[in-house]
Amino acid sequence: MEITVNYTYRTRIEENLTLSKVWNIEDRELSKIAFEALKIAESKEGLRKLFFKNALGSLCLVEFLDMLPLVLPKKGPFININYLYCEGVSVFREATLAGINNLFHASFSALRSALELIVYHIWWQKKLEKSDHYLDFYSWLYGTGKKPVSFVTVYSEIYESLMFPSSAADITFFKKIYSTLCAYAHKPMLKESIISIKESNDFMVCARLLDYWSSIANDFLRIIIDMLVAFKPQILFPKEIWRKFGFNYPIGVFFDHSNYLPFKAWLGQKRINEYKALFSKDKNLIALLKDYEKKADLPDDSIFASWPKEELVEDSPSDSAETKIILRWALLKATQRTQTKIFPYLSVPHDIEWKNGDAIVQKVEFE
């Protein structure tokens, strides 16, 4: 399996952040009409702002990959547990690419799939967080279990189990957007018809249609990002993780400041404050943050000592200790994110067994 990952540790959000940059979209993936569409989007202020906002939201989805844990259960398989999120992000990229290429019906259908995949991920994670095994998930994943739970039940349970501030997208808004996306898979209403909006059946760029498509994509991102924040509220409390753990950090537990930047830009300070006020009463979050703060800060030499000796890094003589740490952190995160994206897709029969407190993983290797 070959997985490509581009990773950047950011200290700021680029003013010229684009969908192409976030999703690493290459020119060979774009049609001639796509270049025309991007040119029109850049020339109109409203569209330009909307495209930038969607690029921010897309970056939030990418950064959330670092919040995907790989928790070892007491028994059974476990490596595919993050499949739904990784697949959902991949499908959203396809939806974005289809929209830029003016393939709007395909884009809306893919947006629906991406929404379902990510919502199912959150639902399964909540369902399994106190379970000794993931066997129910694997039965559902492979279609060998009982009749699957309806999607209505799934998203209803999410809105019932998570806390949302008043400004967040609520279940009524969710139903509205999901209904719109479903329409393109079944029967779009006359007012939702691509030809009606474009007022033509010619394959041409239409600013009004681009605005319609990017607005729906924006609504998709609003729903998902609000869910992700409610699901993992510690993302609003970024940490210099290496200061407490060095380079042997717990995966999928804390956000660093680079992870947090697009969420900060997307939500805005007012909504961040609203979320923080809400979660100040969350006992699990309070305990998590207290445990972090109790851990003593590591001096620089201890942080460097935790770096794998076989991983050589070429430092510049003028680099400060902090710069050298960030460089290693970025390399580590790139490797970890690659593994995070590879594991969910491995078709490797495996099982876990605990002996004397150690996890023994039994699996069959395939070439």
Neighbouring-strand partners of residue 351: 362
C-alpha to C-alpha distances, 94 to 122, 223, 288, nearest whole angstrom: 21, 18, 36
- Asked whether the beta carbons of 236 and 229 are under 8 A apart, the reply is yes
For residues 48 and 32, what is the distance between their CA atoms, to the nearest angstrom? 19
Domain ranges of the chain: 19-363
Q: DSSP string of 213-245? A: HHHHHHHHHHHHHHHHHHH-GGGGS---THHHH
Of residues 170, 212, 205, 274, the one with CA closest to residue 34: 205
Residue 353 is given by DSSP the state E
Token pair, residue 282, equals 């969350």
**2 burial level (CB within 10 Å; 0-12, 13-18, 19+):** exposed
CA gap 278, 107 in Å, rounded: 35
In DSSP terms, which residues pair with 350 in a beta bridge?
Answer: 363
Residue 136: strand, helix, or coil: helix
DSSP SS3 for 284: helix
d(CA 174, CA 116): 11
**Per-residue pLDDT for the chain (367 aa), expressed as one digit of tens each?**
788 888 889 999 999 999 999 999 999 999 999 999 999 999 999 999 999 999 999 999 999 999 998 888 888 889 999 999 999 999 999 999 999 999 998 999 999 999 999 999 999 999 998 898 999 999 998 888 777 789 999 999 999 999 999 999 999 999 999 999 998 766 676 677 776 667 667 767 888 899 999 999 999 999 999 999 999 999 999 999 999 999 999 999 999 999 999 999 999 999 999 999 999 889 999 999 999 999 999 999 999 999 988 778 888 889 999 999 999 999 999 999 999 999 999 888 888 888 877 888 887 554 4
